[in-house]
Amino acid sequence: MSITLDKVSKYYGQVLGLADVSLTIAGGIVGLLGPNGAGKSTLMRLGGGLARPTRGSVRVFGADAWSDPAARRRIGYCPEHEGAYDELTALEWVTVLAELAGVPSARARGRAAEVLDEVGLSEARDRRLGGFSKGMRQRAKLAQALAHEPDLLLLDEPFTGCDPLARAALVEKIRALGDGGKTILLSSHVLYEIEAMTDQIVLIHRGQVLAEGNVYKLRELIDEHPHRVRVVSDRPRAIAQALVGLEHVTRVALDGDALELETRAPDQLYDAIPGVARAAGARIESLTSPDNNIQAVFEYLTEKS
């Protein structure tokens, strides 16, 4: 397992950052989702061995994240906030950080050039960081996190301030790293960014983990809440008449050629719709659910907490 938190709490004076969190990140790309102030950065810093838990334990590759330098060498960290030296060039900056991360001096400059090329900054590597755009600075931060070839990447809000082109480039790069075998824990409060890379998510709110898993598994947690289904058909009224009497259907509404349904038993409804459509001589053009997405799950669970 890459990261294991066991009953971890973190206090900053009287302020609670995390509250009794137990969590395992086993591999692949995992999205850490939550609003600003939810505890995402605290969890990242604990996982990277940059902060010590007030209670509980944090282990990375089986070792104590805080006290074991060998475990920390296997981690690449891209923080949300930066403290780059603007007078240095990108190549100089990544070279220095590569050396600090354990890359031999004779190899560090060449390795820095390689990772800057990987993130699309080869032509800008000799420019000073002070002249970089926000998107370029984010890519430079990712490059330094990759320089020592870590097994685990902790990326804290890596898309903050990026324009659409820079964002798309970073998404593709992170996807490729995940496909290449890296374990990546990536935080964001922008949900569609995570959906573009993974369906494995952890929802965090007020320092507590609300849920974890893929979005469809998480949907099972809220099946007591009416589940919305939208059916587009050439005969929506006929389908509505057949479905309105079902015990688990709580609402039926027509919207042009679409039928909006709410149900407390989505699997039963999905099973019933094809047979009802055939019996009514109707053609189903699309069948979708606005609740089978991260936004709906997150909104409902945070409303409950």
Q: Residue-wise pLDDT tens for the chain (305 aa)?
A: 689 999 999 999 989 999 999 999 998 999 999 888 899 999 999 999 999 999 999 999 999 999 999 999 999 999 988 777 899 999 999 999 999 999 999 999 999 999 999 999 999 999 999 999 888 999 999 999 999 999 999 999 998 878 888 888 889 999 999 999 999 999 988 788 888 899 899 999 999 999 898 877 777 776 667 788 999 999 999 999 999 989 999 999 999 999 999 998 888 999 999 999 999 999 999 998 877 777 777 777 777 66
* Kind of pairing between the strands at 3-12 and 55-60: antiparallel
Instruction: Please give the CATH number for the structural domain made up of 3-218.
Output: 3.40.50.300
b/e 116-137 (16+ beta carbons within 10 angstroms → b): bebbbbeebbeeebeebeebbb
Listed in order, the ranges of the chain carrying CATH 3.40.50.300 are: 3-218
Listed in order, the ranges of the chain carrying CATH 3.30.70.100 are: 223-304
- Give the whole-angstrom CA distance, residue 210 versus residue 37: 15
Which pair of tokens denotes residue 83? Answer: 């403290």
- The distance of Cα 110 from the centroid of its chain, to the nearest Å, equals 31
Which pair of tokens denotes residue 175? Answer: 């996807």
What is the layout of strands, in order, in the sheet containing 152-156? Answer: 75-78, 152-156, 183-188, 29-33, 200-205, 208-214
Give the model's pLDDT for residue 161: 77
Give the model's pLDDT for residue 1: 63
Q: What is the mean pLDDT of the chain?
A: 90
Is this model's pTM higher than 0.85 or not?
Answer: no
Task: Yes or no: say if 23 and 44 are a contact pair by the CB < 8 Å rule.
Answer: no
- Fold for domain 223-304? Alpha-Beta Plaits (3.30.70)
Give the model's pLDDT for residue 160: 82
